[in-house]
Amino acid sequence: MGTLQPHLAEVCGYHFGWCSAGGTPSAGAVPSKFLRATLVLLAAECAGGDAATAVPGAVAVELLHNHSLIHDDVIDQDDLRRGRRTVWSVYGTETAVLAGDALAATAVAHLARAGTVPAREALVLLLDAFNRLCAGQTADLEMERGDAVTVDEYLRMVADKTSALLAAAVAIGAVLSGADEATIGILEAACRDLGLAWQAANDVEDIWGDPAVTGKPPLSDLRSGKMTLPVLAALASDTPAGRELTAHRASGADRARQDLDHVADLIVRAGGRAEAEHLARQRLASAEARLRELAVPDPSRHALTALFRFIVTRSA
Amino acid sequence: MGTLQPHLAEVCGYHFGWCSAGGTPSAGAVPSKFLRATLVLLAAECAGGDAATAVPGAVAVELLHNHSLIHDDVIDQDDLRRGRRTVWSVYGTETAVLAGDALAATAVAHLARAGTVPAREALVLLLDAFNRLCAGQTADLEMERGDAVTVDEYLRMVADKTSALLAAAVAIGAVLSGADEATIGILEAACRDLGLAWQAANDVEDIWGDPAVTGKPPLSDLRSGKMTLPVLAALASDTPAGRELTAHRASGADRARQDLDHVADLIVRAGGRAEAEHLARQRLASAEARLRELAVPDPSRHALTALFRFIVTRSA
């Protein structure tokens, strides 16, 4: 595989929070939590194996995820991630495209080099998730540009954009530790629920979350006009506030801060926030119920369940 | 692997010249010549095997190449490719980033799914080339932004940006048809020469080529201020014209058409064009000499040699 080109190595180090722009090691950045890598390792344990056997999978999944974050920020033109300036905004779009590409190549090579039969199966799972990530992000873009989107259409997009890599993470962990089909199926199904719960919780957080926690400006999704779950649920609510929201959007009003606060209030009054929060809770409960189906020692199950809860609620 | 998301399928179809923007099948576009795929198949024959065994490698190499073309056009902000508007200029940067990503995922998955030992070796070769492509493009960007670059530094960049995937193409074809190490080594070395010859010829064509053939505006590399081989050779020439070129670049003169013609003329008078043309001829001859080392029936060698010549001279 070789190593990353020196400038790309700095760019990726910056992205992960390990150095400042310029390459000086930095201590102040909020580091990645490596949630997906942890999912891979805990899934390996839940499948009755040793987490160590799944490390190449954990590395590959995390690298592919960060590939998609760097490209996502280019696509959404987001300036901030984890409270720091995004790669494209520091190094330029060109370099961000290449750094994302290089991380994808490195991610895939990490599993391809292993050469075992389970590693090959894991690689196919990773590549399927890679393709679904692209599909989900494309559907997301189409929804932003298009007209009416139903909540169901939104959730199908989320299944590709958010859930596919989470499901691949646990499946890869399980495959690398030699799990049977039934175990893999349960873990994947749990992560499909987890993905929807996470996206719903994220959509709420992106509007009403504390900027100090999200690392993004307040009301950022409203500012960019994104059609997220609370917005879609509010628009579909057939309530006075929902109708006012529809009229407001059609009027093309500008996105001054005061106006955004009003929009956020309309979404609450139309029940959009409550519906998103309900979906997050319900899907998390469903994911946890699936984990209880696993024939696995309690400590492993409890660790994975705790990680699921942390992911959705961000409180350990 | 699954299939491409419908909108991405249209975007990729547009890129390959199979449909217009909007998805209508189109007959007028200049189709891709699939030179790299052909390299894979002819290398398989030159290695004593059957071209059919190398088809998955040919598909993977061609898809990865087109991934990089779509991203390259985003990076360089080029408006035209093969005489048609580039993907990003038609569908937007966001979609072009995702379409490129999806082609990379599809390319890699094509080999990963095969599951044989040669396919795994071919995959590792492809991923190494993928990483080197990113490295070469990054070095290319750094050179555009930076100060003086020597001809040698430029050629090292070309080894990654252009030669690596060509060398991977023949190595993949050879590996998939069961070639020995010596044969693979000869083919790779030949393609490292081929890549330098091609880039040198391309650099000449991008300045002095017929727009009807290149599909790009005349003098396009000069317009964008690219430091290509004829320019670098002219700057390093220690001739009156070379010194005038150095002064001209330092003056930051605008890039009006008349001015570009003058710059092109300075490059010719400084010997930059001749040096690039000489390098193209010399490296092509070296590549052909290497092919003569192969212990292979003449028809196969002749076919590969003819392809090498076509690639560099664009005359069959």
The C-alpha atoms of residue B125 and residue B181 are separated, in whole angstroms, by 13
Contact (CB<8Å) A134/B95: no
Place of tokens 């629920």: A193
Using an 8 Å CB-CB cutoff, list chain B residues near A94.
74-76, 141
pLDDT for the residue B120: 94
Using an 8 Å CB-CB cutoff, list chain B residues near A67.
101
Contact (CB<8Å) B134/A74: no
Which runs of E-coded beta strand occur in chain A?
Answer: 80-81, 84-85
Residue B87 has pLDDT above 60, yes or no: yes
Q: Kindly state the greatest CA–CA separation across chain B.
A: 60
Query: Residue B162 carries which DSSP code?
Result: I
Band the pLDDT of B148: cuts 50, 70, 90.
low
Contact assessment for residue A186 and residue A294, using Cβ atoms and an 8 Å cutoff: yes
Residue A197 has pLDDT above 70, yes or no: yes
pLDDT for the residue A257: 65
Where is average pLDDT lowest: A7-16, A27-36, B179-188, B227-236?
Answer: A27-36
Q: Which residue of B has its CA nearest to A112?
A: B124
Using an 8 Å CB-CB cutoff, list chain B residues near A103.
none
Residue B202 CB contacts under 8 Å (≥ 6 apart), including other chains: none
pLDDT for the residue A1: 43
Helices (H), chain B: 6-16, 35-46, 55-76, 87-91, 93-112, 117-145, 151-158, 164-176, 181-208, 211-214, 220-223, 229-235, 240-250, 257-269, 272-292, 298-313
Query: Residue A52 carries which DSSP code?
Result: G
CATH ID of A8-16+32-308, from 2.40.110.10, 3.40.50.970, 1.10.600.10, 3.30.390.30: 1.10.600.10
CA distance A131 to chain B (A): 6
Specify the higher pLDDT residue, A37 or B218.
A37
Nearest CA among A6, A198, A65, A152 for reference residue B136: A6
Angle A296-A302-A307 (CA atoms, 0-180°, nearest 5)? 120
Using an 8 Å CB-CB cutoff, list chain B residues near A75.
93-94, 97-98
Over the stretch A97-152, which tens digit does the pLDDT of each residue have? Answer: 999 999 999 999 999 998 899 999 999 999 999 999 999 999 999 888 766 689 99
Contact (CB<8Å) B94/A2: no
Most B CBs within 10 Å, among A123, A157, A175, to test the B interface:
A123
DSSP of A128-147: HHHHHHHHHHHHHHHHHHSS
Nearest CA among A20, A18, A60 for reference residue A39: A60
Q: Say which CATH class B6-15+33-313 falls into.
A: mainly alpha
B8 touches chain A (CB under 8 A): yes
Residue A260 has pLDDT above 90, yes or no: no
Which runs of E-coded beta strand occur in A52-195?
Answer: 80-81, 84-85
Specify the higher pLDDT residue, A246 or A212.
A246
Kind of pairing between the strands at B84-85 and A84-85 = unpaired
Kind of pairing between the strands at A84-85 and A80-81 = antiparallel
Contact assessment for residue A1 and residue A109, using Cβ atoms and an 8 Å cutoff: yes
Amino acid at B9: A
Using an 8 Å CB-CB cutoff, list chain A residues near B133.
101
Angle A203-A154-A81 (CA atoms, 0-180°, nearest 5)? 35
